[in-house]
Amino acid sequence: MLKTNEDQVVEMFMECKPGPPRVGPGWKVDHNGVPFLLPGIGGITLNVGVGDPAFGLAGDHIEPGVSCTANADKPNEFPNNSLQFLSCVGNEAKILTGDAKGETGVVIGHHGGSEHIIVEFAKDVKERMGYDDRIRIRARGQGLALTDYPGIRLFNLSPELLHKMKIKTTDTGTLVIPVTTLVPAACMGSGLGRAHVGAGDYDVMTSDVDTVRQFHLDRMRFGDFVALMDHDNSYGRAYKKGAVSIGIVVHSDCRLAGHGPGIATLMTSPAALIEPKEDPLANIADLLKIGTRIN
């Protein structure tokens, strides 16, 4: 078992509500110059959840499950900025009010731009939810560290999920981490240059058909753990040869230039300390037995 400082990690309650879908005025234009009008970010999304394909939807930047906010009017301000930073992938979410009171779900990531955290609930639970329902997040994970691997930094990851990720140690001092996809550095787009990765995400650009086909990018599912090759997320999102970052797919493919499936960061190493190993079951749905599972 990986040694961590989890006995020192602070645990807090945060509260939020489902964030209504956000629709901008007018047409949007895709990377080929084709205008489109489609559903986008936000909402209680009834028929899309973790484990489902992130491609092929009649939508753009679709967030699976339930998109949540603590301040829909001022998404970048308190308390929503605290919700974004403190809520970690794998945290429990409990509904406190409404017809679905008492039901629980799992935080699966956060999405920059919309400034939502995204929570997976079972479909029958979502059917009973409303936009005034209060949801309590048992926030725990920021500050988590691997005590034997100081060269690998963790972000946005609950200790409980870390221990279920089937990570293996090696005799050479590296960690073998299961992922579904190896994403080449050149494909990382919108979100680059942000000062830190304790909130938000950045996108895998999918505008080049040949690259998508070569690296099987269009096989990604919501909740997949993926490896971002030659990308260091230690102090922001940056290209660095030999670095590896591990993230989770939090929103769907997108038609806009510079965009694509969104990846929230979970761990990173500027040195060659992470060995990604391809595994089609490396998805939070399969690990936690939620959503749409392969196995």
Q: What domains, with CATH codes, occur in the chain?
A: 10-140 (2.40.10.170), 153-286 (2.102.30.10)
Between 193 and 51, name the one with better pLDDT. 51
Average pLDDT estimate for 116-130:
98
As given in the structure block, the two tokens for residue 44 are 């209680």
Distance CA 236, CA 8 (A): 24
The pLDDT of residue 23 is: 85
CB 191 within 8 Å of CB 237: yes
Please determine, for residue 292, whether its predicted confidence score (pLDDT) is greater than 90: yes
Mean pLDDT of the chain: 96
β-bridge mates for residue 57, sequence order: none
Q: Report H helices in the chain.
A: 80-86, 123-126, 159-162, 209-214, 284-288
CB 144 within 8 Å of CB 162: yes
pLDDT tens digit string along 181-237?
999 999 999 999 888 899 999 999 999 999 999 999 999 999 999 999 999 999 999
Please determine, for residue 132, whether its predicted confidence score (pLDDT) is greater than 90: yes
Cis check: omega of the bond before 79, within 30 degrees of 0: yes
Please determine, for residue 294, whether its predicted confidence score (pLDDT) is greater than 90: no
pLDDT tens digit string along 10-24?
999 999 999 999 887
Question: Buried b / exposed e across 34-66, counting CB within 10 Å, b at 16+?
Answer: eeeeebbbbbbbeebbbbbebbebebbbbbbbb
Instruction: Report which DSSP code applies to 56.
Output: S
Secondary structure of residue 266 in the 3-state scheme: strand
Q: Over pLDDT 90: what percentage of the chain? A: 96
Distance CA 240, CA 225 (A): 20
Please determine, for residue 285, whether its predicted confidence score (pLDDT) is greater than 80: yes
Distance CA 184, CA 221 (A): 17
